[in-house]
C-alpha cells in the first residue's frame, strides 16, 4: 500500500518536526509539506497533492496577532475549493472556544482531540489518518455528548447535513444561478469546485442514488432547499415526504 500523503500544520516548530519524523518513521506516511499558520495551510492545500491534512486547532500567526486563522477556519477555507478534503484535527487545549468554532463550522468529518498530553504518538495518529482518507469519521468520546447536539440537528433538517460552503452553494443554486455565476459570487479560483460541491450536496440528500441527470438533480435539490425537508422521488417522478408516522406520502396533493 502506498504511503498516505499528508500536509502537516502546526505553529510549534519543534513539535512539527517531531511529528514529521515520527509519522514518516512508521513507513505509512509521507509528509508532502508543512505549514505554520492557517494562511500558509490554505495556500499550500490549494497547490499541493495530498490525501489528508493533519492540523492543530490553535494556530498563532505573529503577523496578524489575535486575528490569526485557526485550524478550523483554515479547513473551512480549504474545503470551499476542495470539497470535503479529509482533515484530522488535534489540540491540547481544553477551551470551549475551539469546540464552539468546530461545531459552528459544520465540519462533522474528522476530529481528534488530545488534551492530556503535549506529545502526539504516531501510533495514535496513523489509524486516524487512514480512517479520514477512507471517509470514516471519529469524534473523541470525551466530547461525544456535545457533538450529539449537532447530530440531532442532522436528523431534523436537510440543511444541517451540509457543510457551510455547501449550504451557501445550495442557497445560490436555489436562486437560479449557474455554476459560473456561483463561482464568481463566491470568488472561487476554479469554477469546477462548484460542480464538485454540487455532487456533495446531491449525495448528502440522496439525489445521486437515482439515475437522473444534473438538471433534474439540480431542480430537486432546489426544491429540498426551499422546502427544508428531505424529499424522495418514486419511479413516476412524484415527490414524497415523510409524515408524522414516518410513512412516505406525496408532497403535493
pLDDT, one tens digit per residue, over 53-100 is 999 988 989 888 878 898 989 998 998 899 889 998 887 765 656 666
Q: Is the pTM of this model over 0.75?
A: no
Lowest-pLDDT range, 98-107, 149-158, 200-209?
A: 149-158
Q: Are 10 and 114 in contact (CB under 8 A)?
A: no
Tell me, what's the pLDDT at 68? 87
Kindly state whether residues 145 and 185 are assigned to the same domain: no
- Residue 248's nearest CA partner among 227, 235, 231, 236 is 231
Domain count, the chain: 2
Torsion of CA 227, 228, 233, 237, to 10 degrees: 20
Single residue among 153, 182, 216 that ends a domain in this structure: 153
Q: Average pLDDT in the 235-250 region?
A: 81
Comparison of pLDDT for 70 and 1, the residue scoring more: 70
Lowest-pLDDT range, 39-43, 73-77, 172-176, 204-208?
A: 204-208
Quote the domain boundaries for residue 104: 4-153
Residue ranges of E strands in the chain = 4-9, 29-35, 52-56, 87-90, 110-111, 138-139, 232-233, 239-242, 248-250
Kindly state whether residues 166 and 96 are assigned to the same domain: no
Residue 226 reports pLDDT greater than 70: yes
Q: Are 152 and 144 in contact (CB under 8 A)?
A: no
One-character DSSP codes across 28-45: SEEEEEEESSHHHHHHHH
- Give domain status of residue 215, yes or no: yes
pLDDT in tens, 114-145: 554 544 678 888 888 998 898 887 766 665 56
Kindly state whether residues 33 and 79 are assigned to the same domain: yes
CA distance 71 to 222: 32
Kindly state whether residues 38 and 146 are assigned to the same domain: yes
- Give domain status of residue 149, yes or no: yes
Amino acid at each position: 500500500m502506498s504511503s498516505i500523503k499528508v500536509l502537516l500544520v502546526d505553529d510549534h516548530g519543534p513539535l512539527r518536526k517531531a511529528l514529521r519524523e515520527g509519522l514518516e518513521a512508521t513507513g505509512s506516511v509521507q509528509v508532502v509539506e508543512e505549514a505554520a499558520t492557517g494562511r500558509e495551510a490554505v495556500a499550500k492545500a490549494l497547490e499541493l497533492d495530498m490525501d489528508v491534512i493533519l492540523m492543530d486547532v490553535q494556530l498563532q500567526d505573529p503577523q496578524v496577532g489575535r486575528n490569526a486563522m485557526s485550524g478550523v477556519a483554515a479547513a473551512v477555507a480549504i474545503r470551499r475549493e476542495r470539497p470535503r478534503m479529509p482533515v484530522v484535527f488535534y489540540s491540547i487545549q481544553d477551551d470551549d472556544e475551539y469546540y464552539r468554532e468546530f461545531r459552528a463550522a459544520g465540519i462533522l468529518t474528522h476530529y481528534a482531540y488530545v488534551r492530556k498530553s503535549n506529545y502526539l504518538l504516531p501510533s495514535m495518529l496513523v489509524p486516524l489518518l487512514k480512517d479520514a482518507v477512507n471517509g470514516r469519521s471519529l469524534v473523541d468520546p470525551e466530547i461525544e455528548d456535545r457533538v450529539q447536539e449537532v447530530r440531532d440537528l442532522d436528523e431534523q433538517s436537510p440543511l444541517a447535513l451540509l457543510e457551510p460552503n455547501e449550504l451557501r452553494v445550495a442557497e445560490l443554486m436555489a436562486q437560479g444561478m449557474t455554476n459560473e455565476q456561483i463561482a464568481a459570487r463566491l470568488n472561487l479560483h476554479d469554477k469546477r469546485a462548484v460542480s464538485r460541491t454540487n455532487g456533495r450536496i446531491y449525495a448528502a440528500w440522496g439525489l445521486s442514488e437515482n439515475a437522473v441527470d444534473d438538471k433534474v438533480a439540480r431542480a430537486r435539490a432546489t426544491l429540498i432547499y426551499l422546502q427544508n425537508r428531505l424529499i424522495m422521488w418514486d419511479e413516476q417522478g412524484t415527490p414524497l415526504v415523510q409524515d408524522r408516522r414516518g410513512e412516505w406520502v406525496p408532497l403535493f396533493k
